[in-house]
Amino acid sequence: MIAPAVGQLMLLAMMAVEGRWTFAGLIIPGFIGCVASALAMLLSQRHAPDYGHPAADSPDSPASAAASQSREDSADHHAAEIPTADLESLLGLNTATATDVWRGIVRRWHDADDASSCWTVPIGMTDRERYDVDLPGSGPHALVAGTTGSGKSVLLESWCLSMACRVPPNRLNFVFLDFKGGSAFRVLHRLPHTVGFVSDLDISHAVRALRVIETELKRREHLAAARHAASVDELEDPPARLMVVIDEFHALRNQLPDYMDRLVSLASLGRSLGMHLVVCTQNPMGQVTTDMKANIGLNICLRVRDPLQSAELIGDSRAALISPQQPGVAYSFDGERRVRFRCASPRRAEALVTGCARATRFLGLEPPPPLFSAPLPRTLPPDRAPVVRIASGTPEALCIGLEDTGVRLSPCLLPLDQGNIAVVGADGRGKSTLLGVIADRLARSGLPFRATGRTPSGPFDRPAPDVRNTEPSVGSRETTSQGPVSQGSVSPGRIRRRFWLVDDADALIDPLSTGNCADEFRSALRDPHHVVVFSLGSCRHLRFPEHCGVRIIFPTGDRAIDMMAGIPMTILASLTDTDIATAGRAVLLSRGRSMIIQCVRGEPIWRIQHLKA
């Protein structure tokens, strides 16, 4: 800044010599500014520190390093002051023998029936006393964060075991979503309280768990609304509280982002409906949405690497100072106070789970049914298909496999009172086998039928046996879930109907086809006393509902072809590559409903010569 000042001074001198005082007056302010800037720079350089030695307040200075080390040593010292305790001791359970365990659990379940504070359970120790958590009161939802190795899984295990040993399964249920390969809840999923357990090893199974959350929310909403109650707690017989526990939430969010709205709904509506969410993640920043955080009342932060992550959960950076040598040390914040504690770990988690199961049997409690089932199996042998008992006086149906509602599996009942049935699919998908299964069911039910098709050696036409004025009819169902497929007895004399099973009927349904068999086939399609079950390679000549009232479509994977066949967009969106490649996997389209089904494995239609109607 000295050179500009000298230049301004020389210019001012020249203006003065020439007598140009007006211009000289204009130069004076610039000259003063240059002089002032030069003086300020000189003063700042004089007082500047030597950059060869860091300043005292620099992050690299010895003083700063000493202060940081002092804070870390202080944090380690305070963490070391927190006593360690096992979960059994905090619960007051005598674990000398297995009998002592389940008897102690029975006593606590009995006390929980009369105590309003049964939801307050111990999960660890502070430096002075036992640390208890009341999720319905403090939450109703919780967010747990911590880096790898900080003790998140142990905390979740102890928390859930503590609640299970305090509250019976008719008042508390668990759904576990483990996106760490299933290792986090390898013991907890055997609790009698558990109504659902999935891992990231089977994404389709995890999708069902997220769907059932929405279904259960709506069910409880209708239950409370029907009795004009503000919450399910006001009901005389409220449903069990449901605790949804998610480990490695960030992995769930990355793999199933389209289902996050269901968890947001749970967070916003769960309090009054008795449903709670416990989310565990490594990094709460950017992974948990603001809509979810707005409804989460309890934050638990174990060791994290970034002070911002700690501040996000507990309002300051204390959790970032926890030593890696102190796993299990955490801070909780419920909006009012911060508590430092060390989470307890069970000595024998398997013994506690076994004790809960024995206590359930001793009290005669029925284990809660699963909220959702596994996806459709890749193959369905006859001995794994559901039993269907026939009852008269109801719509006719035959069990041909399992159907998937998206949440649960149930027997797939093929209606016989809605007209003809078209089975459409490419070769090798199971059309002939499905017709063989239908033929087997008709034969077991005592219903005469005609069968037409082709064998590897040539065509065949098995005529129906002679029948009199009356013909047995197929009643509909009463289902159970065990034993082989059985169609039971039938009610004779109610409906006179003829059945014709036709394999590879593409040539017969072609309007340009001629011949006696083609004319007979098209005539049977128009006859209301005929039920024609026929298979096609494509829907090219199929007209709905003129030709049939029920369709079974084996998807091709080509969206345009499948949509032309009648498969709804919602069903197509849920079909995976595995579904397309699985033999026997089809879509049943009947009156007002569409379902993905898995057909029973059986013999193809051309091997039915041994069947007797």
How many other CB atoms are there within 10 angstroms of residue 56's CB atom?
10
Which range among 17-31, 125-139, 225-239 shows the weakest confidence by mean pLDDT?
A: 17-31
150 is in an annotated binding site: yes
- Tens of pLDDT along 330-349? 999 998 899 999 999 999 99
Of 94, 85, 98, 96, residue with least CA distance to 353: 98
- Tell me how many degrees the CA angle 328-112-247 measures, rounded to the nearest 5: 35
Reply yes or no on whether the pLDDT at 504 is more than 50: yes
> Domains of the chain (ranges plus CATH)?
1-46 (no CATH), 80-362 (3.40.50.300), 382-607 (3.40.50)
- Tens of pLDDT along 415-465? 998 999 999 999 989 999 999 999 988 888 888 889 998 877 778 888 766
Of 95, 544, 177, residue with least CA distance to 348: 95
CB proximity list for 190: less than 8 A, separation 6 or greater: 353, 357
Reply yes or no on whether the pLDDT at 481 is more than 50: no
Which range among 104-108, 129-133, 182-186, 377-381 shows the weakest confidence by mean pLDDT?
A: 182-186
148 is in an annotated binding site: yes
116 is in an annotated binding site: no
452 is in an annotated binding site: no
Of 479, 321, 468, 357, residue with least CA distance to 413: 479
pLDDT of residue 388: 64
Which range among 64-78, 402-416, 518-532 shows the weakest confidence by mean pLDDT?
A: 64-78
pLDDT of residue 390: 53
The larger pLDDT score, comparing residue 69 to residue 489, is at 69
44 is in an annotated binding site: no
User: In Å, how far are 155, 344, 405, 601, 610 from 122, measured between CA atoms?
Assistant: 11, 9, 40, 52, 67
Q: Are 414 and 438 in contact (CB under 8 A)?
A: yes
- Tens of pLDDT along 291-318? 899 999 999 999 999 999 999 999 999 9
479 is in an annotated binding site: no
C-alpha dihedral, 471 to 475 to 480 to 482, nearest 10°: 20
Q: Using CB atoms within 10 A of its CB, is residue 35 exposed (0-12), middle (13-18) or buried (19+)?
A: middle
- Tell me how many degrees the CA angle 174-371-227 measures, rounded to the nearest 5: 90
- Can you read off the two tokens belonging to residue 479? 């289902």
147 is in an annotated binding site: yes
Backbone angles phi, psi at 339, to 5 degrees: -130, 130
Reply yes or no on whether the pLDDT at 589 is more than 80: yes
Confidence of residue 22 (pLDDT cuts 50, 70, 90): confident
- Tens of pLDDT along 68-85? 444 444 555 455 578 888
pLDDT of residue 474: 41
CB proximity list for 297: less than 8 A, separation 6 or greater: 138, 139, 140, 141, 142, 334, 335
- Can you read off the two tokens belonging to residue 460? 């065949």
Locus of tokens 């041909």: 400
Half-sphere exposure of 576 (CA within 13 A, CB side): 10
Q: How far is CA 599 from the centre of its chain?
A: 26
pLDDT of residue 434: 95
Query: Residue 449: beta bridge partners?
Result: 499
CB proximity list for 332: less than 8 A, separation 6 or greater: 131, 133, 298, 299, 300, 301, 314, 338, 339, 341
Sign of CA dihedral 77, 78, 81, 86: negative
Q: Are 395 and 494 in contact (CB under 8 A)?
A: no
582 is in an annotated binding site: no
